[in-house]
Amino acid sequence: MSAPQSFTPIPHIDIHRAGDRLKTRVAWLDSKHSFSFGQHYDPDNTHHGLLLVNNDDIVSPGQGFETHPHRDMEIVTWVTKGSLVHQDSIGHSGVIYPGLAQRMSAGKGIMHSEKNDSWRLTGDAHQVPVRFVQMWVVPDTPGIDPGYEQVEIEDELLRGGLVPVASGMKKHDGESAIRINQKSAALHVARLQPGRPITVPEAPFLHVFVAQGTVQMEEVGELYEGDAVRLSSSGGQRIQSFEHAEVLIWEMHSRLGQ
């Protein structure tokens, strides 16, 4: 019997504009989905690599997602504006804000809630919406014990460059801010400064998301806030900005079902 062959995707760059995303809007939530999510299903747009969810959410003050379950998913939340209160069934609670890396491993089952902290844990009430990007990747092993981790990385981001924020890859041991239970994936974040470009890692699957501002990407051109680029068997492109901008880049060395 011959050895199984690894899958090598055909080199490809696919641009997805912010305005083309699937949308969920209710009184307290403005959510834009890069992939099929909830009631929105498109069989041709379910994931890229190991990334199943890339939701760009704006939640009104005093509102949010009530307690709900998750299972067998690595969930990374990145706040770009305001602050978000997290509480879960394994005893964790805290406030997530810009510059704080947060990961929740759903494992064999967890309940949690996420709300805009307009009531303030300290100080006066406010009326500031919270905007955050929530990303889900599949874990290596199902049924693990659920877990939670958050780390402040504001200082690293201010130095510029591409910062490994969440990773399960061996090459990021001791480097990434938080660890995820997926050895083939890593999330990098960069706060771009004028005149200081970054270089996209090389990988079989890459997902570049412009969280804030406008950037220029080699082989792609201009990208605006909310735009995304899905790359297969690619990488090495330079990204730069002439203003302050922020990009989220998933580096993935496997795909769902591989």
pLDDT at 30 over 50: yes
pLDDT (0 to 100) of residue 179: 94
pLDDT for residue 121 is more than 90? no
Q: Between residues 175 and 223, which one has the greater pLDDT? A: 223
**Does residue 46 register a pLDDT over 60?**
yes
Walk me through the domains of the chain, giving residue ranges and CATH numbers.
12-252 (2.60.120.10)
Burial 83-97 (b: 16+ CB within 10 A, else e): bbbbebeeebeeebb
Other CB atoms within 10 Å distance of the CB of residue 174:
4
pTM of the model: 0.92
**What average pLDDT does the chain have?**
91
- Check residue 175 and give its pLDDT: 82
Q: pLDDT band at 126, cuts 50/70/90?
A: confident
Which residues neighbour 20 within 8 Å (Cβ) at sequence distance 6 or greater?
none
Tokens of 82: 């305001």
Average of per-residue pLDDT across 116-139: 81
- Check whether 160 has a pLDDT greater than 50: yes
- The pLDDT score that the predictor gives to residue 2 is 39
> What's the confidence (pLDDT) of residue 129?
93
% of the chain at pLDDT higher than 90 = 74
What are φ and ψ of residue 157, in 5° steps? -65, -35
> Is residue 5 predicted with pLDDT exceeding 70?
no
- Segment holding 67, helix H or strand E: strand 64-70
Tell me phi and psi for residue 19, to 5 degrees: -70, -15
Give the 3-state secondary structure percentages of the chain, helix then strand then coil, rounded to 5.
5, 50, 45
pLDDT at 240 over 50: yes
Q: For residue 252, what are its two tokens?
A: 């993935």
What residues contact residue 62 under an 8 Å CB cut-off, 6+ apart?
115, 116, 118, 119
